[in-house]
Structure 1
């Protein structure tokens, strides 16, 4: 067989087969004249109008134990022998979801009054199939029903487990009774339990309703809910001699499929059958496998045989049908294609599709060619508009005269922002190492993609601040890129990492000498002093911390990250804004008032100076006092300066030098901004400390075994005590922790 296109055919065929595997196909019900196929060969297959399929049977040797049918005068009864008078109406067969059920008739309990007030009743009725162990009343299909306008009915059983259940029905006018449904007015229902084999019915009335012209009787019965048609005639017509249809579940008793399959008496004898456990108590049933029909309890030709889906009357295929054992397939002639199914795409001529495809193909070719050309022009124009939009959004029209890099230049310099080029990451963006075509190394700060205009404004603000600054200890801004979705800044490359890396990271702790620490702090103080008082427009940094201080090859400090900085007009001392900064460095007064000044930078620098002296992080996670500034002030005020200083600082510094540096840090950390020195004063004092010559220890009397620094730190730190008493509170009133 050939089909076109082949891959479409194979795909559709796979889908058809999968659909067939997922949805069970129901065999068509057998015709009336095929009733003999369901009975054991040589046995009667009917009793009156009731078909008798095996494992049921009438004559000896024609039924399985417990499934005998008593056929008397053309009426079928369950069981054989005296006392088996349960009339069989139908044994459902041939349809998988109805197998395992049969319908019988049972009497109705009633309580009636005639017009003279005479009462006639058969208000109690029972039904017992406990002697027929293969049968149970169907819990799913049957309901207990009470009908009448003054009816109290209930059903009870004391077989194995005793139970009582029922319902009450009451009404006063026929117009209130809904027609066609048992909804609680004039009729009510109640469910029955699983594995029920015996019950008694009872019905009674509360009042003498002989004057009722439309509901003289009350009825109670168990019935198959799907076989009832509740109408108003249920009240008016005499139902006392009628019977109600009750559905019974049957099963091969006392074993599960797994247990029965290991015995010689397993009922599922047909080769193409399978077993399933009963859903109403113990036992199991048999069924034919998909694609087969017949009686799974019989072997040979009367058992489960293949369904010929390709027969003339039932073929599901449009052209060619191929019957298989338990299945089938459809195909098309070589000059046609499709899945071949009537309910699918069928079979379509290849010639017809070729003509259509040729016309459609040529049309599509020209449409694609024209569309591609138009798309290229549109994309080029939109790209230009987008770059211009980003340029204006990122403040390009307001930028001073600095170099503008293109997005392509920075992508090439950073190897398309390769992960291996990352120098550092922060909340606002990522810094990449880049190499320009002239081999100059740069640092590219790329903002994170965000819809927050405030974050973009930080980058624009950083350009405005840095473009007006030229200081050797401030990182130099080389240019920016404004045509991308987020702005990017280009800085000089500072190769030796951050000051925090050298002070706190493993492998670098204690690597900086005291001389280097004092020099770095002096350079940072000089840069901040320049920003506060020497720049054309004063600048407040607002985020001074060791992670924003970079070091070059010579460990020269470079202050960076001016995203939170603000230009302060000459006629103002400070500005008011939302609190911005980093925990541990934040000015307490700024935190309380929302007003930041140049003295806010002084406080943050004081924390940096304490970090350099102690080697500790500004916020600790394990100490009782988590804020470094608070801990440092407490140690100084209590004469325990040496305890908090880093070991190398203690070893390399003289007591006078350390006390002087600590006293300067204490003044920077004053809670009141007016008690803090100006940044230029701090810079001058640090410049002096860097030139401090080591004390010769000339006349100091040190006893053997005593620590000289301990004596200095604990005996008479007069400078520190005087400073603390004059300008500082004994303890910080609050603590900022991360």
Structure 2
């Protein structure tokens, strides 16, 4: 190891000797230029480096313009109007601060000092200059005087001088003179004098270069006063928000380097400075002007001197290759070995992290798959699959959806996709991969003991194909609670259509009559023409949806019951919506097909009157719309409660026929109520009679009527296949649309 080090040192010595020999054979190079080409570099005995300059295109901006007066011997900083004593470029050795010394007069307090010698304060606001806090002091001369320097910022400093002026000192004792340090970020100031005791003579204050102040020799205070004006040091830079500053900072490092103000000033970009500073300097081994593009040049002798130190300071662990104007650190064998070990360890750690991440993802995915399989089995997925695969099954395999597809369809069941919420669950709007818009119901609970019956009912509902019943497209059994997928119905509920109507488009009598006919046809189909009788158990205007042509769609089978053909009723805990519940069912807990008829009667009265089933407005007559309607019929006040639009468009005979039908549906004795088949037929007859007398229908009503008649005719001829269950079971609970 020692031999290797000796070899490196001997190689370095040989390189230095070679460069020294080369140096003696080279002509001495000219000093680097400090000003821009074709620009004056001096005014009198003051060197003017760029960004300062004399004449057009020789300075960076107006703040750096120098005018050379008195036969080119007196440099003046034009924008501020101060005499320039000298300018220094930032240096790597002296904390990299750029300095400019200027001459500033003292500030006098009274006429006894001479009226023509009163100085004016200097303001550096908005400039790239600041009074140097480290290089200047504030001094005051006077008898029994307190001098206060108020900066344009919030800082205040001051000092107090006594009345003993028999001798002069360095102002540290305060005998006729005092001094103090400047505040940070000083850009401008004014001086306030406060006399303390009997006034004796002139009072004045000034800023001065700290080194000049202490190195100058003064016999007395008058001698000090005669030196007015005084040299003051400003720190300077250039604005860092200019393209030229950006170009300087883009230069390769080395030979030059540029920093912002928080690196080289004794302030951290203070508030009040007109612009942030940028200062540039030449790196070690280079000299010249860093503010000129390519202005830092390598001096061969300096480079050799620096390179001797570089090996031990900049490249302590590497081999240093010396070249004119710069140096390179070349990796040694030992360093390469350490780097290879480090890189290998880093790659190994990275590969281990990647492996652990992949393992975590795999375990998480397997856990999710196992959970989905558990939910699928618990929710009757195996039973449903066997039904789908059986030769007798007519159900398409697309009836089973996976949770991933439904998650994508609803943006992971985002709240923005909610269509409605109810006691049974939440309905989301979704779009499947094929672009089809669907409604996905996420239920709250399911009876795990009724899985077989639930699957059978899903199969039955998925085969229902009635134009006025919302179609069940399928389900997803991979989640904790099964999801049901329905066709999407765009125009909301009948309740909203009746009770929050668009003022410009009132609900016409023809539309009301058609909707009533469509609801009755759907209930007739469920009671009598479906493969197994179904009691809806929650018929209300909120559960009647309207499609794009405002055709009725019966929805929400969350509390529905399927019954065997030989059953006349089901006994259940009373459920339903106030205002629609059959009073007979409420008393007996026995639900029959006539209970659906009663609820339909309430909806029919809603269509006639436009009033809500429960309303506090009818408090005197009774909050229930059904009771209010029956009382009005018996008191011969029917046309007093009928909706104004109905009275305007409908004939009284038609209105009376519909009212009588509604009254029969609302009979307190269920056996006296008509069946839904009779209701549907009677509504169809009224509708045909209306068309026969020439009442015009709009296109939508005409299409709906023609189609409905064909469906009703087909429905009455259907053979009801018996699919028996041991007990009536509930459908999967579903949220209100």
- With normalisation by structure 2, the TM-score equals 0.43
Larger helix fraction of residues: 2
- With normalisation by structure 1, the TM-score equals 0.42
Higher relative contact order (CA 8 A, sep 6+): 2
